[in-house]
A and B are shown apart, each in its own frame.
Chain A
Amino acid sequence: MKLPHSIETRDLTRIFKSKNETVKALDKVSLSIEEREIFGLLGPNGAGKTTFIKILTTLLLPTNGEAYVGGFNVIKEPDRVRKIISLVSGGETPGYGILSVRENLWFFSQLYGLSSTAAREKIKRLMADLDFEEYANTRMAKLSTGYRQRLNLARGLLSGPNILFLDEPTLGLDVLTAKKLRSYIVDWAKKEAKGTVLLTTHYMAEADEMCDRVAIIDRGRILACDSPSTLKENLKQKQIMRVEIASVQADFGFIDKMADVIGYSQTRNIQTGTTTLKIMVDNETAFAKIMRQLEKLKILSVSKAEPTLEDVYISLVGRGFEEGEASTSA
């Protein structure tokens, strides 16, 4: 039976049990993703993003619930699912260091039974499109991270999948390479008649820039799911303020406990010795009260901020995304 959605899950649950703890990595996740959609799963470390992708790519069984990819049941018909998908995990480099880029790509093309002429043409085109033709004869072991990831993405597209799973595709890449890969993926999804992309990320800007729809996931639960603009639109009646403070040690725990505060995030920058607070409140009075407390510290600047996807997350969870680290969502 063919279902209308490209990807569909119903109450998908995955529990990991180990000796001393039980983790609910996914908790009744129900999502439908359409053909030709770029769908993003946005969440912090340990949210369950990779677990979700692994179940859909037949690498992991759910504890409960159902999942369909291209209309096929991932538990009962893994072989049919495998024919129409591919998976690219950021930060990994499948392949053989001792072989050249071209040789590695040829090898992977054989896993999908491509004829040698078809493989040769496709490899050539992908290397040109992703700008790494000059490394065709370089051994994989000698490639930099950015080029490895281009190779990895090319490998994923080689088999001509309908549904592309990308697990943090731009993890650890420089800004330019990340941009290049993002725009290529967006173009690919537009061009392919049936191309669907499910990507996970913890970069806000990536989700915002690329995705038609985004689901925000935290501790295995989907907290919101909509287009980035709608998600941000919903925050319009809230106040979001950005406060920069000349201290990296101060404790801001009090902010949460005050009335009418929805949440806040803090980003410490050790180099400049500053902390940037983003505070979301229901009304101006709440913010005035916070400022009175903060006056004890040296305030460098105060400004009103436009809502971002991070603010959507703060409004749902009450805390920031990557507490304590320098912002990576540039």
Chain B
Amino acid sequence: MREQLIRNLKVVYARLWVRVKGGNREPEWLIAELIIPMLTLSAYVYLYKMLNAPPEYGGFVIIGGTMVAFWSNVLWNMSAQFYWEKETGSLEVYLVAPISRMAILLGMALGGIVNTTLRAVAILVAGALIFQVPFALQEPLTALLMFFLTIIALYALGMLFASLFMLYGREAWHTASLLQEPVYLFSGLYFPVNQLPFVVQLVASLIPLTFGLDGIRRVIILGEGIADIWLNVAVLVVFILILLPLAKFALNYMENLGKKEGRLTLRWQ
């Protein structure tokens, strides 16, 4: 039991290390990952300035841009890496090893967080300096709490997707790419959700990022505290309590289904 836990923690660390090491070995990537989002962000910031929107909107966009970096690294890249590991034969090696599949995914996710933090900080600093976005942070701990709850919910969602990628590979890949942009829109990365039609808000509320983003913005830009955003916290906790066991179940279920149908390590499908 204890021995197993230690082994799995080693796996988490090793997979994290691989992701960080691999992610920072090619500096070109870093440039692409910084410059392109910065350009997108500045476009929105200036758009809002032109429209004479209140200055908080600029702040919303900056926070959105920061969080999308985490979102794409923790969630999309985690599932996509699983797909690649299947293609290269690494997945087979993981599945034959006496380790938890969740440990591998957790390592990937944490590695993604480490890599993204650099990018996120850069965007925040640039936002504050270049675009003169007003920050009114009162409760840093609340901001951190919101941040971590959001990330955990994303990790659970990422595991859920990864279980699909394990079996469906290419098809899951296409669906995921198809979903990416609408999710960004609905979860309010670029617009505050309460400005969108009610139906859209309803759909958006199914995505944990929406609540996380809303909470983090209100804490950092509007200077609200835990008393104002307790609902966001509660919703995220509920998401996590549902998603984590569901993801664990899905991983198990998909692995067994794969073993039964014979498509666990089958490629070119």
Is the Cβ of A111 less than 8 Å from the Cβ of B21?
no
| A61: B residues at CB distance < 8 A | 256, 259-260
C-alpha gap A86/B262 in the complex (Å): 19
Chain A, residues 81-94, CB within 8 Å of chain B (1/0): the string is 01101110100111
Query: With A16-B262, A96-B18 in contact, is A87–B92 under 8 Å at CB?
Result: yes
Option from A86, A95, A107 in Cβ contact (under 8 Å) with B96: A86
| A59: B residues at CB distance < 8 A | 92, 95-96, 259, 264-265
Is the Cβ of B259 less than 8 Å from the Cβ of A89?
no
Distance (whole angstroms) from the CB of B96 to the closest CB of chain A: 5
Is the Cβ of A110 less than 8 Å from the Cβ of B92?
no
Query: With A54-B265, A60-B262, A61-B260 in contact, is A99–B92 under 8 Å at CB?
Result: no
Chain B, residues 21-53, CB within 8 Å of chain A (1/0): the string is 110011000000000000000000000000000
| B21: A residues at CB distance < 8 A | 98-99, 103
| A103: B residues at CB distance < 8 A | 18, 21
Interface size on B, residues (CB 8 A): 32
Is the Cβ of B93 less than 8 Å from the Cβ of A87?
yes
Is the Cβ of A113 less than 8 Å from the Cβ of B90?
no
Option from B6, B85, B96 in Cβ contact (under 8 Å) with A113: B6
Distance (whole angstroms) from the CB of B18 to the closest CB of chain A: 5
Is the Cβ of A111 less than 8 Å from the Cβ of B11?
yes
Distance (whole angstroms) from the CB of B3 to the closest CB of chain A: 8
| B17: A residues at CB distance < 8 A | 107
Option from A57, A58, A95 in Cβ contact (under 8 Å) with B88: A95
C-alpha gap A103/B25 in the complex (Å): 13
C-alpha gap A39/B43 in the complex (Å): 65
Considering the complex, give the chain A residue whose CB is closest to the CB of B265.
Answer: A59
Is the Cβ of B90 less than 8 Å from the Cβ of A94?
yes
Size class of the A contact interface (CB-based, 8 Å): 20 to 34
Query: With A95-B88, A98-B25, A113-B7 in contact, is A107–B14 under 8 Å at CB?
Result: yes
Taking the complex as formed, is A213 at the interface, i.e. its CB lies under 8 A from any CB of chain B? no
| A252: B residues at CB distance < 8 A | none
| B18: A residues at CB distance < 8 A | 96, 99, 103, 107
C-alpha gap A103/B260 in the complex (Å): 34
| B264: A residues at CB distance < 8 A | 59-60
Is the Cβ of B93 less than 8 Å from the Cβ of A98?
no
Taking the complex as formed, is B94 at the interface, i.e. its CB lies under 8 A from any CB of chain A? yes
C-alpha gap A93/B264 in the complex (Å): 17
Besides A83-B98, A155-B93, 14 new A-B residue pairs in contact (Cβ under 8 A), listed by A number? A51-B262, A58-B95, A61-B260, A82-B97, A85-B96, A92-B88, A92-B89, A95-B88, A98-B26, A99-B22, A107-B17, A110-B13, A111-B94, A113-B3
Which B residues lie at the A interface, using CB under 8 A? 3, 6-7, 10-11, 13-15, 17-18, 21-22, 25-26, 85, 88-90, 92-99, 256, 259-260, 262, 264-265
Q: Which 7 A-B pairs have the closest CB atoms?
A: A92-B89, A110-B14, A113-B7, A82-B98, A111-B97, A94-B90, A94-B89
